[in-house]
Amino acid sequence: MNQFFTRLLSGAALVLLLGLAYSCHYPELFSLLLIACLGIILALEWPKCGPAILTPWFPITPFLVLIYLNQSSTYHHLVLLIFASSMLFDVGAYLIGSRCGQWKLAPSISPNKTWEGFAGGVLFSFLIVLLNPLRHLFMAHPVWTACFILLIDITALMGDLFVSHLKRRAQIKDCGTILPGHGGLLDRFDSILFVTIIFFLFRRSLSLP
């Protein structure tokens, strides 16, 4: 099986697992899944690349924020937006970058990332306006919403580059092997964890009407 289909199947399995846990009527189930993911990262992946001094701030703090948002009746919906926006950006960046990428974005940190891929990620991420509450915000404040989505994309890229920098410094390709074609959980959660902080800071502006 080639790399593309391996990546597709393992990514789809992760999305299905997260989606089923999130959509059930018990937020505690999704929170337990997040705790399990954090435990795997801290036990098996973070020691390979992450400085111990950073651990309380990254990855622990973003995971705690995710759990807080998930358990909150007011902000529970933001968890869906966090994962959707990050994954749409990643999918767009991968599809466009792997086919059309020419101009290197950060060759010293992540040689495969290109400006074309970033642009593809931005275009795909705008599909998030189809979800509440961004659909209402986009209709009422299109410029503000567009700027917010662009901020999400830049933050997602920063998260990706941050973990790529840690891996390059540790001279490893992936943080783990739990997701064939992707690497470890941290390789998939890098942008999500950075984006989580942005959603937390803007949580009141993103409340459901």
Q: What is the DSSP string of 32-94?
A: HHHHHHHHHIIIIIHHHH--GGGTIIIIIHHHHHHHHHHH-TTTHHHHHHHHHHHHHHHHHHH
What pLDDT does 132 receive?
A: 66
- pLDDT computed for residue 160 by the predictor: 95
Q: Which residues of 157-183 are buried (b: 16+ CB within 10 A; e: fewer)?
A: bebbbbbbebbeeeeeebbbebbebbb
pLDDT at residue 89, as a whole number: 95
- Provide the pLDDT for residue 32: 96
**Cα 72 from chain centroid?**
20
3-state secondary structure of 183: strand
Cα–chain-centroid distance for residue 31? Answer: 16
Q: What is the pLDDT of residue 139?
A: 79
Per-residue model confidence (pLDDT) at position 2: 66
Widest pairwise Cα distance in the chain? 48
> What pLDDT sits at residue 10?
78
pLDDT of residue 208: 65
pLDDT value at residue 33 = 95
pLDDT along the chain (209 residues), means of 10: 70 86 91 96 93 92 98 93 93 92 92 95 90 76 91 96 94 88 89 97 83
Name the percent of the chain lying above pLDDT 70: 96
C-alpha pair distances (Å), 136 with each of 132, 139, 140, 149: 7, 5, 6, 14
Q: Are the C-beta atoms of 174 and 184 separated by less than 8 Å?
A: yes
pTM for this one? 0.91
Measured between alpha carbons, how far is 151 from 40 in angstroms, rounded to an integer?
29
